[in-house]
């Protein structure tokens, strides 16, 4: 078993609950401290150390690092694209303040590694939308995207200036059955499975031909840990890596679900999230991650759909 002591901030969210489980498997339950601003998520209760923590409270972060002898931190707390547009200043404050606090603490406390997620939301309508490359025009139009792009540059700055080993991925929409997403534009791709099983129908808040890059949570968790385990000399960029698995539209995911639930019905009522999606890539070129540290996805739409429906209690 590995020696590090790991802190996960924002552990109660969609990625956190699954990442904590994977990290506890790798490092041992007692060596992974899960924290969130809320009471423990049921998947985190009684399974290892848990603390209530506000990601913007630097003193509280420092206290937990010293209490547990933390060597690595994953900072997952954030407001996502749709929630962010409802309160842009709050999204900026939460997303940036939590990162800047942690970067300073990481340098002062000489942490071995920091992980901070970025997103395809860094891209905007002026970015090439198909096979979006690692380096391209980046002019985000959501406050979430602006904060993620600024954060990427802060991560690179701390690496270049202070030698901090900080790593990051630009996640596409993430689809999971153990944990629910909250406040994203890609959330429809999780809701649709729940509604298909519960009601046999779903009203989608994006239009039928809106293609977005997506990934099954199993791949995302494995990719995150593989990036963190990769030898530092393999990482040719300290901006976040493009990461990709599949791209599909609401119409295509509905067709995949109909292979298991033939009378599943979908209709479309696009709302403000349509405009966010219209500014994002349709597909992502992640060849740099594949070349630098060997990234490879396992799940496509068909495999993911079968696994989602099986685990959510369907066929
Ligand atoms: C969102 O939709 O805001 C997130 C993301 C793509 O980062 N899922």
Q: Whose CA is closest to 127, among 112, 106, 113, 141?
A: 141
Count of other CB atoms within 10 angstroms of residue 271: 11
Q: Whose CA is closest to 197, among 42, 305, 43, 41?
A: 305
Claim to verify: residue 32 and residue 152 sit in the same structural domain: yes
The answer to whether residue 291 sits within a structural domain is no
CATH of the domain at 118: 3.40.50.720
The answer to whether residue 265 sits within a structural domain is yes
Claim to verify: residue 122 and residue 177 sit in the same structural domain: no
Model pLDDT, residue 258 = 98
The answer to whether residue 304 sits within a structural domain is yes
C-alpha 200 – ligand 1 centre gap (Å): 25
**DSSP 8-state code for residue 284:** B
**How many domains is the chain partitioned into structurally?**
2
Claim to verify: residue 21 and residue 147 sit in the same structural domain: yes
The answer to whether residue 66 sits within a structural domain is yes
Claim to verify: residue 127 and residue 271 sit in the same structural domain: no
Model pLDDT, residue 1 = 66
The CB of 173 under 6 Å from ligand 1? The reply is yes
Element (H, E) at 255: helix 250-258
CATH of the domain at 179: 3.90.25
pLDDT tens across 103-124, in order? Answer: 999 999 999 999 999 999 999 9
Claim to verify: residue 84 and residue 137 sit in the same structural domain: yes
Q: What is the 3 state secondary structure string of 177-218?
A: CCCCCCCCCCCHHHHHHHHHHHHCEEEECCCCCCCEEEEEHH
The CB of 122 under 6 Å from ligand 1? The reply is no
The answer to whether residue 264 sits within a structural domain is yes
- Residue 123's Cβ-count burial label (10 Å; 0-12, 13-18, 19+) is buried
Owning domain of residue 307: 173-214+246-283+298-311
Model pLDDT, residue 313 = 84
Claim to verify: residue 183 and residue 90 sit in the same structural domain: no
Claim to verify: residue 64 and residue 140 sit in the same structural domain: yes
Which residue out of 186, 242, 283 has the highest number of ligand 1 atoms within 8 Å of its CB and is therefore the one to mutate?
186
Close Cβ partners of 112 (under 8 Å, ≥ 6 residues apart): 4, 71, 72, 165
Please report how many Cα atoms fall inside a 13 Å half-sphere around the Cα of residue 240, on the Cβ side.
29
Model pLDDT, residue 315 = 47
Claim to verify: residue 195 and residue 272 sit in the same structural domain: yes
What is the phi/psi pair of residue 266, to 5°?
Answer: -130, 140
**Residue 171 catalytic?**
no
Model pLDDT, residue 314 = 58
Low-confidence ranges of the chain (pLDDT < 50): 315
Atom 6 of ligand 1, nearest CA residue: 173
The answer to whether residue 292 sits within a structural domain is no
The answer to whether residue 130 sits within a structural domain is yes
CB 195 within 8 A of CB 144: no
pLDDT tens across 159-186, in order? Answer: 999 999 999 999 999 999 999 998 999 9
Claim to verify: residue 130 and residue 272 sit in the same structural domain: no
The CB of 81 under 6 Å from ligand 1? The reply is yes
The CB of 84 under 6 Å from ligand 1? The reply is no
Claim to verify: residue 120 and residue 205 sit in the same structural domain: no
C-alpha dist (Å) from residue 100 to 108, 150, 196, 279, 290 = 12, 11, 41, 27, 29
Claim to verify: residue 18 and residue 74 sit in the same structural domain: yes
Residues recorded for the chain: 315
Which residue out of 94, 120, 121, 273 has the highest number of ligand 1 atoms within 8 Å of its CB and is therefore the one to mutate?
121
Tell me the pLDDT of the chain averaged across its residues. 97
ipTM over 0.85: yes
C-alpha 109 – ligand 1 centre gap (Å): 31
Among 144, 158, 188, 202, the one annotated catalytic: 144
Atom 7 of ligand 1, nearest CA residue: 119
Count of other CB atoms within 10 angstroms of residue 139: 14
Claim to verify: residue 233 and residue 250 sit in the same structural domain: no
The answer to whether residue 290 sits within a structural domain is no
The CB of 6 under 6 Å from ligand 1? The reply is no
Model pLDDT, residue 178 = 94
């Amino acid at each position: 078993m590995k020696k590090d002591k790991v802190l996960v901030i924002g552990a109660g969210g969609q990625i956190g609950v699954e990442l904590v489980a994977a990290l506890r498997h790798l490092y041992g339950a007692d060596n992974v401290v899960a924290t969130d601003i809320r009471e423990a998520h049921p998947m985190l209760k009684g399974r290892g150390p848990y603390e209530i923590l506000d990601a913007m409270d630097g003193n509280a972060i420092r206290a937990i690092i010293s209490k547990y002898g933390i060597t690595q931190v994953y900072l997952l707390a954030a407001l996502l694209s749709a929630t962010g547009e409802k309160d842009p200043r709050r999204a900026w404050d939460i997303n940036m303040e939590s990162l800047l606090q942690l970067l300073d603490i990481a340098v002062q406390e000489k942490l071995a590694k920091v992980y901070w997620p970025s997103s395809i939301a860094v891209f905007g309508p002026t970015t090439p939308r198909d096979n979006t490359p690692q380096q391209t025009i980046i002019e985000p139009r959501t406050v979430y995207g602006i904060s993620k792009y600024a954060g990427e540059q802060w991560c690179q700055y701390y690496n270049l200036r202070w030698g901090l080993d900080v790593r990051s991925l630009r996640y596409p929409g993430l689809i999971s059955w153990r944990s629910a997403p909250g406040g994203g534009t890609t959330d429809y791709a999780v809701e649709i499975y729940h509604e298909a099983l519960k009601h046999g129908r779903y009203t989608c808040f994006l239009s039928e031909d809106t293609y977005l890059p997506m990934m099954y949570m199993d791949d995302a968790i494995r990719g995150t840990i593989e990036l963190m385990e990769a030898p530092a000399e393999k990482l040719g960029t300290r901006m976040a890596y493009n990461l990709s698995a599949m791209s599909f539209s609401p119409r295509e995911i509905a067709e995949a679900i109909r292979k298991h639930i033939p009378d599943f019905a979908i209709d479309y009522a696009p709302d403000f999230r349509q405009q966010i999606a219209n500014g994002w890539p349709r597909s992502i070129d992640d060849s740099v991650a594949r070349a630098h540290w060997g990234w490879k996805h396992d799940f496509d739409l068909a495999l993911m759909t079968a696994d989602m429906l099986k685990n959510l209690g369907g066929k």
